Amino acid sequence: MREPLHTEGGARLPLVTLYLSERCNSRCVTCDYWRHGHTDLDLGAVERLLPALGRLGTQTVLLSGGEPLLNPDWQSIAERLRGAGLRLWLLTSGLSLAKHAAVVARLCERVTVSLDGTDAATYRDIRGLDAFDTVRAGIRAAVRAGVPVGVRVTLQRRNYDQLAGFVDLAAELGAREVSFLAVDVANPHAFARREPVPSDLALTEADLPRFAGLVSELERTHAAAFRSGFIAESAARLAHIGRYFAAVCRGHGYPPVRCNAPEFSAVIDAHGAVSPCFFIRGAAADGIPAAELDVVWTSGPMRTQRAAIRAGEAAQCRTCVCSLWRNPESFAQPVRPLAEAMHG
């Protein structure tokens, strides 16, 4: 059982993810934000949230969505958060990154860009736009502006054979690291989905030996990238992705997930709803605004929900593609870079 977060001063929440927008300028086959998203988080809501973040000892805020850079007030929001002493990390599709690179570099300590193809055709097939060169230009612009950039790849059947190519492309673009995640096909509510998950996203049984071979080859040809941490995951963790897809194919046997993210982090969507993670909807008491985040986080429903997650009772955790683990003794310490804490 995972240990709950307790400190001498009470509940703490070092890491908060803010969805600045539920809108998106990509058209990904893996996601439905672009189909249904309409709402942006407004600056006033963030202003009202700041005292609670202070009371909870929040240190780092991930700016996410949807696409956070679509929020017309994103810069004002980021400036207000920075002015309150918070570290900022931007998660973006990269489509608008070149335009905003200088401001992003001034306000954010890190940027993670989603990039799901190593060529224009694959990118268009997955992301729904002919924008491969646009995203590459955005990454280069951010790197030139001086902000560390990570490339995040969601592996699926349409791009898994480009595994080594993603590493080479990230290096070519000047990224600080490249990380890999399996496409989530087991959680029906992930990424604002309202429609059934497309059936052709996951690797098939026939793909699994090929993927295992690609991981072994990458370990041999890019050993230095593993050693340096440029590839954020170990080869063993990449093999874990293969086991996830094997479980999807067989309908059982999902690999265990080691995660205690709900003990030290929370997600606030563009409507102000609070959740324990990206994949589990929050159970906060009705009528409590997100501006009173400390009240929400310590409310009976949220405590009960986190206890159920700790006890392994959340179905989403058993089939999750993502994990974020911190030693409970480090909860009160500054949050490490995300890629260092993930995939424990």
Q: What kind and span of H or E run contains 211? A: helix 208-221
pLDDT digits (tens, 9 = 90+) for 28-69: 676 666 556 678 999 999 999 999 999 999 999 999 988 999
pLDDT digits (tens, 9 = 90+) for 16-28: 999 999 888 877 6
> DSSP label at 338?
H
pLDDT digits (tens, 9 = 90+) for 190-246: 655 556 566 689 999 999 999 999 999 999 999 999 999 999 999 999 999 999 999
Reported as a pLDDT band with limits 50, 70 and 90, residue 177 is very high
Residues of the chain above pLDDT 90, percent: 63
Residue 97 and residue 133 in contact, taking contact as beta carbons nearer than 8 Å? no
Reported as a pLDDT band with limits 50, 70 and 90, residue 337 is very low
Q: What pLDDT is stored for residue 121 in this prediction?
A: 97
Q: How many CB atoms lie within 10 A of CB 36?
A: 13
**CB burial string 159-170: b at 16+ within 10 A, e below:** bbebbbebbebb
Chain centroid, CA 170 distance in Å: 18
Q: How do the residues of the chain divide into helix, strand and coil, expressed in percent and rounded to 5?
A: 45, 15, 45
pLDDT higher than threshold 60 for residue 344: no
Distance in Å from the first CA to the final CA of the chain: 15
In sequence order, what are the residues at sequence separation of 6 or more whose Cβ sits closer than 8 angstroms to the Cβ of residue 1? Answer: 310, 311, 312
Residue 3 and residue 328 in contact, taking contact as beta carbons nearer than 8 Å? yes
Q: How far apart are CA 132 and CA 130, in angstroms?
A: 6
Q: Calculate mean pLDDT across residues 320-329.
A: 75
Q: What pLDDT is stored for residue 258 in this prediction?
A: 84
Q: Between these two residues, 245 and 10, which has the higher pLDDT value?
A: 245
- CA distances, 134 to each of 98, 195, 224 (Å): 8, 29, 29
Q: What pLDDT is stored for residue 340 in this prediction?
A: 40
Q: How far apart are CA 135 and CA 210, in angstroms?
A: 28
- CA distances, 205 to each of 156, 182, 254, 313 (Å): 13, 15, 15, 29
- Residue 233, phi then psi, degrees to nearest 5: -95, 155
Q: Which of 218-222, 268-272, 333-337 has the highest mean pLDDT?
A: 218-222
pLDDT higher than threshold 90 for residue 181: yes
- CA distances, 117 to each of 3, 41, 140, 158, 213 (Å): 39, 30, 16, 9, 20
Q: How far apart are CA 64 and CA 68, in angstroms?
A: 5
Q: Calculate mean pLDDT across residues 139-146.
A: 98
Whole-number CA gyration radius for the chain: 19
pLDDT higher than threshold 70 for residue 332: no
Q: What pLDDT is stored for residue 51 in this prediction?
A: 95
Q: What pLDDT is stored for residue 192 in this prediction?
A: 55
Residue recorded with tokens 């407004």: 42
pLDDT digits (tens, 9 = 90+) for 254-264: 988 888 889 99
Q: How far apart are CA 49 and CA 267, in angstroms?
A: 13
Q: What is the pTM of this model?
A: 0.89
pLDDT digits (tens, 9 = 90+) for 100-141: 999 999 999 999 999 999 999 999 999 889 999 999 999 999
Q: What pLDDT is stored for residue 230 in this prediction?
A: 98
Residue type for position 247:
A
Compute the half-sphere exposure of residue 236: CA atoms within 13 Å on the CB side of its CA: 3
Q: What pLDDT is stored for residue 335 in this prediction?
A: 56
pLDDT digits (tens, 9 = 90+) for 202-212: 999 999 999 99
Reported as a pLDDT band with limits 50, 70 and 90, residue 175 is very high
What tokens appear for 292 in the block?
A: 């009173």
**CB burial string 1-27: b at 16+ within 10 A, e below:** ebeebeeeeebbbbbbbbbbbbbbbbe
Q: What kind and span of H or E run contains 177? A: strand 177-182
Residue 264 and residue 306 in contact, taking contact as beta carbons nearer than 8 Å? no
The residue among 260, 279, 214 whose CA lies nearest residue 241 is 214
Q: What pLDDT is stored for residue 48 in this prediction?
A: 93
Q: Between these two residues, 193 and 272, which has the higher pLDDT value?
A: 272
